Structure 1
Amino acid sequence: MELGDNEKSPLFPKKENEPVKLKRTVGVLSASALVFGSCVGAGIFISPKGVYEKAGSPGAGLMVWCLSGVIATLCTLAYAELGTMMPQSGGEFVYIHRVYGDCLAFIFSFCNTLLIKPASLSVVAVLFGEYLCNMIWGPATNDLIVKAVAVALIVTLGLINIVGVNVIAKVCTVISVLKLAVVGFLVACGIAIVIKGQGVVTNFQLSLSFEGSSTNPADYGLAFYYCLFTFQSWNSLNYMTEELKTPEKTLPLGGFIGLTGVTLSYFLCNVAYLMMFSLHQIVDTNTIAMDSGFIAFGRAGEITMSLGLLVSCLGCLGGAICCISRNIQSTAETGIFPSFLSGINKTFQTPIKAIITVVLTMSVYVLVDANMLIPFLSTVEWLFYCVTFSTILYLRYKEPNSKRPFKVPLFVSVFLFLITGTFVVLPLFSEESRVTTLLGLSWLPLGAAVYGIRHLIKQCCYKKLEQKTSSQSSLDSGYSEVDGNDKECKLS
């Protein structure tokens, strides 16, 4: 079965009363900027600690970063095959719904839009609030003020998203340029330390850089887990396929360019870290980017890196709100989520109700402190990536002749299916992460229970409607018989 434009899609049938559609306004440059801006957030300033702690050595940690970039880029290209084959916005939901039906698609959207994404992004918003307040009032800032700043940021970015996707794309483009400047400054910090003769040379000596590397596969699984968390928005464009100009070109090319830029930036940042710090120093600090600026250029460098982190948070949150709202909107279009969330505003041509839902959900997680939720929610995220890659294999087998404007080699899809499944299973072999992994997987039966309750309610509503319709038909039939008898009487 071929999937062409939206009017031909069996998943999104054309509706006569729905004239407003998303407009194709995002080109290759804007798409690349959205991917880069969404990926490069606070993660590169936070995750190095976990990556190097689990890898056990500078060389092994740097290899994990490079391989993670390769995996994320391959994931983007594989998703481009699905996105060009089924050119609807909504990301994984569209592909899972096509192959596995309503139930699993609902569970995915339930976990992704109401738990995984909002929870992880709310942490980024709180981080923004902490650093901004620290710069203005110092480290002893009241926690309530920090959370108020975080909520204000989320609302502001939500309003920008409402104005139009082309606006947020332009904002992300500008922020992406600023992020490149931040990466450049971080590299300059490393170079400055080397010039001063204070660089950690042993991190780059082949005979010493791999000394102490972990031999436990579970440790490397967790190292990749921390690292790939910083690449977690690699699938951004699949959530807004209907807004891409010529998606068969923009989706693979924009994703590839964006992820290549992200991978190169992360590599340079890690090289800079290893120039300035020993492995133990990286593991012991929670503010490695700030420390980098302070060591190289004093207080001015620290402030510069703080501003860079704030800019990174802005770009990450702005692009992510755009993508999550499209997932909600496309899910609602199929009737799996409440239909009112599928509406597109005529003035701004954006899914305002879906955006408001994202803003409200993220704001709730800011207030309840979502830091405790991230580890096990991310486990569910990787599980659904694995499920999505299985749809590529299924469609290759069941529909080999379907139109695929872009296609990756089969071995790439097989590799990604196996590696994402491994990322879900490996944490189970570590005592440190086993409990959080099992807690994450427990959200699946929760989503299934919500789907079951929703299905029962719909069935009850249908039965009542059928009874009402049947009763009305009986009354109409009775009236017809009476009218017929009256006519017979009159004729006689």
Structure 2
Amino acid sequence: MESPDCRDSLVTVIPEKVRMKRNIGLIRGTSLIVGSIIGSGIFISPKGVLQRTGSVGLSLVVWTVSGFISLMGALSYAELGIILPKSGGEYIYIKEGLGDIPAFLYAWISIIVIRTSSIAVVALTFGENMATLFQYCGSPVLPIKIVAAVVIVTLGVINSYSTSLAGRTQVLFTFVKLTSLAVISIGGIVKLMQGNTSQFKNSFEGTTSPSNVAMSFYNAVFAYGGWQNLNFVTEELKNPVKDLPRTNILGLMVTTIVYLLVNISYLTVMTSTELVNSPAVAATWGDRVLGTASVLMPLSVMFSTFGAANGALFGGGRALYAAAREGHFPEVLSYIHCKYYTPFPSIIFTIVISLFMVIPGDIGSLVDFLSFTTWLVYGMTVSCLVIFRFTKKHVERPFKVPVVIPVLFVLICIYLVIGPLIENPQIEFLYAFLSIVAGLFFYFPFVYFKVKIKGFELLTTSVQLLCEVVPCPYEPET
């Protein structure tokens, strides 16, 4: 007897059998982490870190320390992913450790604001660098936004069609961007060998106040953002117990080394003042080192940002999928495609919100806002690991970090959240707070009191039939 068609099986067979496939191994996982981290940050943040630290030496220290901070977080996340091997990342851990309201507020601020605006920022950076390849009258904004929208839609098609294709896309663009950054790093080494070391003499001279140093971490950790993305696809890892810690460590080691080499390279061809005042640091470096081949720099940024946006969408769609599966968002957003085994509705939803985020198009004002909310989430998440050491102490842990690592990481997060608020309050922090509180106005009527919207079930059925998507309940591995 022939197997039933997807459309005929929505109710009887497919909902019980369809699940996302485990096809992400060490290489794809590491590429996802490195590709998600290395995006626009390494081309945007160096001038902000240097400006806020006030000295070359301390800026390099901040870049190194930020890498180690991110590694502590990644190791803590690896243990969390082994304790709770479900896709969804922070949402799953916060819900289990802190309860429904904090989990919903995380899902709200992360899915609706942080991830979508991050995708928009990276896509806009792609558009800005593409614009440098052409001659325009003035500085038109519309072409940049159109390009950004095309990038987001293209990535949506890739991620909706195939997890494997999205993984291969990540591997390809990670390889290309690392090759491009290797050119910058090698160029810097050559310049150092030629004696261009003036910026590294008395390198700590001009160091600024502690409050400015705290803000410099916002710029640096923004560039490291994305190290947690593998935890959003735990159910799609071939071997989560081995792959989570290995890919996290390998990915962050590669990223930290690359970031240090690139920053050193920038400073071998520019003074600290020139770097701070440069409108496009990589382009300035290319003009001085590559000459007529300097067009490679905007292309490098485009490849880098495309891969980073792919990683952000890959993880963001799964976060929404997990939250919907737990009842915190409409159930239809937890369905997966019955042929492609991808969280199709959640990916489409993330794309639509990201496209709306492209409209304002202000990249600079989003960095502090994103960093503030992101490190608030990181602190909440890793605090759950400390809680689980008491509430889930009998759970088998093939990988276990020393307890000092999550405790120290949480203290650092508290500093990064509270320090700038006290020393240098900014309007972006108020926007972040109001965005979080706004989630309560949706939680209580629709989640806590379960208010039903008339006609929504019909809409869900229509989406299910139109998109060929089916429920995908969580089934632990046996």
Q: Which residue of 1 aligns with 2:458?
A: none
Alignment pair present for 1:220 and 2:213: yes
Shift of 1:459: 5.1
Q: Which of 64, 74, 86 is the aligned partner of 2:62?
A: 64
> Which one-letter code corresponds to 1:107 in the other structure?
L
SS at 1:131 equivalent: helix
Separation in structure 1 between the aligned mates of residue 326 and residue 302 of structure 2, nearest angstrom: 37
Unaligned runs of 5+ in 1: 1-14, 463-492
The Cα offsets for residues 284-330 of structure 1, whole Å up to 9 and x where unpaired, read as: 112111100101122322x1111100000111011111100000111
Q: Which residue of 2 aligns with 1:441?
A: 433
Shift of 1:194: 4.6
Alignment pair present for 1:405 and 2:401: no
Q: Which residue of 2 aligns with 1:162?
A: 160
Separation in structure 2 between the aligned mates of residue 203 and residue 360 of structure 1, nearest angstrom: 45
Q: Which residue of 1 aligns with 2:317?
A: 325
Separation in structure 2 between the aligned mates of residue 195 and residue 418 of structure 1, nearest angstrom: 41
Q: Which of 370, 374, 378 is the aligned partner of 1:385?
A: 378
Q: Which of 282, 292, 299 is the aligned partner of 1:307?
A: 299
Q: Which residue of 2 aligns with 1:365?
A: 357
Q: Considering only aligned residues, what root-mean-square deviation do their CA atoms show, in Å?
A: 1.9
Q: 1:456 to 1:331 in 2, by over 3 A?
A: closer
Question: Which aligned pairs between 1:76-475 and structure 2 lie closer than 5 A?
Answer: 76-138=74-136, 140=138, 142-194=140-192, 199=196, 201-205=197-201, 208-214=202-208, 216-301=209-294, 303-371=295-363, 372-431=365-424, 433-455=425-447, 458=450
Q: Which residue of 1 aligns with 2:476?
A: none
Shift of 1:376: 2.2
The Cα offsets for residues 197-226 of structure 1, whole Å up to 9 and x where unpaired, read as: 6x2x23223xx1111112x22111111111
SS at 1:458 equivalent: coil
Q: Does the 8 Å CA contact 1:192/1:296 hold for their aligned counterparts? A: no
Moved more, 386-395 or 135-144: 135-144
The Cα offsets for residues 308-367 of structure 1, whole Å up to 9 and x where unpaired, read as: 000001110111111000001111111111000011111111011111011111111001
The Cα offsets for residues 20-64 of structure 1, whole Å up to 9 and x where unpaired, read as: 111100001110011011110111011011101111100000000
Separation in structure 2 between the aligned mates of residue 271 and residue 385 of structure 1, nearest angstrom: 29
Q: 1:417 to 1:194 in 2, by over 3 A?
A: closer
Q: Does the 8 Å CA contact 1:133/1:141 hold for their aligned counterparts? A: no
SS at 2:225 equivalent: coil
Unaligned runs of 5+ in 2: 1-12, 455-478
Q: Which residue of 2 aligns with 1:6?
A: none
Please state which structure has a larger fraction of its residues in helix.
1
The Cα offsets for residues 382-422 of structure 1, whole Å up to 9 and x where unpaired, read as: 11111111101111122222222211000001000100111
Q: Does the 8 Å CA contact 1:190/1:296 hold for their aligned counterparts? A: no
Separation in structure 1 between the aligned mates of residue 75 and residue 108 of structure 2, nearest angstrom: 25
Percent identical across equivalent pairs? 33
Separation in structure 2 between the aligned mates of residue 450 and residue 119 of structure 1, nearest angstrom: 20
Shift of 1:460: 7.1
> Which one-letter code corresponds to 2:414 in the other structure?
G
Q: State the aligned residue count.
A: 441
Shift of 1:430: 3.0
Shift of 1:457: 5.3
Q: Which residue of 2 aligns with 1:39?
A: 37
> Which one-letter code corresponds to 1:440 in the other structure?
A
Shift of 1:455: 3.7
The Cα offsets for residues 69-92 of structure 1, whole Å up to 9 and x where unpaired, read as: 111111111100000110000010
Moved more, 124-133 or 238-247: 124-133
Moved more, 394-403 or 19-28: 394-403
SS at 1:442 equivalent: helix
Separation in structure 1 between the aligned mates of residue 371 and residue 351 of structure 2, nearest angstrom: 20
> Which one-letter code corresponds to 1:266 in the other structure?
Y
Q: Taking structure 2 as the reference length, what is the TM-score of the superposition?
A: 0.88
> Which one-letter code corresponds to 1:167 in the other structure?
L
Q: 1:350 to 1:96 in 2, by over 3 A?
A: same
Q: 1:348 to 1:91 in 2, by over 3 A?
A: same
Q: Does the 8 Å CA contact 1:59/1:209 hold for their aligned counterparts? A: yes
Shift of 1:146: 1.4
Q: Does the 8 Å CA contact 1:193/1:296 hold for their aligned counterparts? A: no
Moved more, 117-126 or 242-251: 117-126
Q: Which of 18, 32, 36 is the aligned partner of 1:20?
A: 18
